[in-house]
Amino acid sequence: MYTDKTLTCKECGKEFVFTASEQEFYAEKGFENEPQRCKACRDARKAARGERTSRPMYEAVCASCGKTCQVPFEPKGDRPVYCSECFEEHKR
């Protein structure tokens, strides 16, 4: 059904292959547009975006298991803080 396509990266101008399996994945996810950047340029953009949006982490003690953990908010003491494992358990 799908065949490999050669596309040109709008960032670096190099050609890259949009494989049949990638096209199938895009279709399953409902993506309508083909990728405009090669994998290297996509990864570079993700890394740059991650650096811009990184926020400080705060140390806390899990209210359930007592383990020390890192959380992306400053604990105020008015509500319990859970480590990621206990947080998953409390979500259920």
Alpha-helical regions (H) of the chain: 20-29, 39-53, 84-91
Q: What is the DSSP letter of 1?
A: -
CA-to-CA distance for 42 and 51, rounded, in angstroms?
A: 14
Judge if 47 and 64 occupy the same domain: no
What per-residue confidence (pLDDT) applies to 48? 81
Judge if 45 and 12 occupy the same domain: yes
Judge if 38 and 23 occupy the same domain: yes
CA-to-CA distance for 34 and 12, rounded, in angstroms?
A: 16
Q: Nearest to residue 64, comparing CAs of 48, 43, 85, 44?
A: 85
pLDDT tens column, 45-69: 888 876 656 678 899 999 999 999 9
For the chain (length 92 residues), average pLDDT per consecutive 10? 95 96 94 95 85 78 94 90 88 69
Give how many domains the chain has, as a whole number.
Answer: 2
For residue 9, give its domain range.
Answer: 5-53
Place of tokens 């890259």: 16
- pTM for the whole structure: 0.52
